[in-house]
Amino acid sequence: AEVQAEPEEMVSEEVKEVAPKAEEAAEEVAEEQKETAATAQEAKETLDETEEK
């Protein structure tokens, strides 16, 4: 029984280390997507203004 419990503990330790890094990376990607969307929106507005003139 002890042998089976050990790998699980190791895995949970690895998950504890990796999870915050994955979360951080996901947040960075989300920020980049927001910026890209904002830039696209600005470009669209600029185009709309150009077409109106």
Task: Say how far apart CA 22 and CA 25 lie, in whole Å.
Answer: 5
Of the pLDDT bands very low, low, confident and very high (cuts 50, 70, 90), residue 4 is: low
Given this model, what pLDDT does residue 1 score?
55
Is the pTM of the predicted complex or chain greater than 0.85? Answer: no
| Vertex 14: Cα angle to 13 and 17 (nearest 5) | 90
Given this model, what pLDDT does residue 25 score?
95
- How confident is the model over 5-48, as pLDDT tens digits? 666 788 888 888 899 999 999 999 999 999 999 999 999 999 99
Given this model, what pLDDT does residue 27 score?
97
